[in-house]
Structure 1
Amino acid sequence: MVVQAVLLKAGSALVTGLVGAAAYEATKKALAKAPLREGAVAATALGLKGSRKAEEVAENVRLNAADILAEAKERVGEESTPPTTGTAHDHDH
């Protein structure tokens, strides 16, 4: 009886392992055929193009705003400063 129980459990584990391995292989083949990677690469490339265009537009807006501010200061008689990329700080990190 004990031997039958052990063989039954071993057989059950073997069948479960074979079914799992077959399912894994089938999933692996299906994913290899699916164009998921190609789609992910295309979506990422599109995102990069979009972010670069957004950066370009933001830079143009910043420069146009600086031009408008400089012209307004000139009209009221103030000296305008050229636009800068950031503030300088004189401390170490």
Structure 2
Amino acid sequence: MVNGLVAKAAGAVATGFVGAAAYDGVKRLVRSAAIRSATVTVTSWGLRGVRAAETGAEKVRLVSADIVSEARARIGEEAPAPGATNGHGHKH
């Protein structure tokens, strides 16, 4: 019975030691300049991608506004001035 208790305690201590060592290793790795540099690089790629997507979305918005404006002109309808709307159909 005592042997079983000692074996379980030794296993728990060993598991705790391995866990602490792994935690310290990960902590050191995160603090290293290589990981930080890689993280900054990946983040800069992400920012570039976001900027490219925003630019593309703005181009699509402008092109679609031009198309709607041209279509209104073809049917003889004047496009409303920016900000001069008559509301959106309901009261607040």
TM-score above 0.5, yes or no:
yes
Structure with bigger RCO (C-alpha 8 Å, 6+ apart): 1
Q: Which amino acid in structure 1 is aligned with residue 57 of structure 2?
A: E
Q: Show structure 2 runs of 5+ residues with no match.
A: none
State how far apart, in whole Å, the 1-side matches of 2:89 and 2:73 are.
28
Q: Which residue of structure 1 aligns with residue 22 of structure 2?
A: 23
Q: Show structure 1 runs of 5+ residues with no match.
A: none
Q: Which residue of structure 2 aligns with residue 45 of structure 1?
A: 47
How many residues are matched? 87
TM-score normalised over the length of structure 1: 0.67
Contact 2:69 2:79 in 1 (8 A): no
Deviations 1:62-92 (A, max 9, x none): 232134224423xxxx242337688713133
TM-aligned CA deviation for residue 12 of structure 1: 1.4
Q: Which residue of structure 2 aligns with residue 91 of structure 1?
A: 91
State how far apart, in whole Å, the 2-side matches of 1:4 and 1:16 are.
18
Q: Which amino acid in structure 2 is aligned with residue 17 of structure 1?
A: G
Deviations 1:11-47 (A, max 9, x none): 1110111011111221232233314531442133123
Contact 1:63 1:83 in 2 (8 A): no
- Fraction of identical pairs, as percent: 21
Change over 3 Å in CA distance of 1:57–1:63 after alignment to 2: same
State how far apart, in whole Å, the 1-side matches of 2:56 and 2:88 are.
25
Q: Which residue of structure 2 aligns with residue 69 of structure 1?
A: 71
Change over 3 Å in CA distance of 1:84–1:65 after alignment to 2: farther
State how far apart, in whole Å, the 1-side matches of 2:91 and 2:80 are.
24
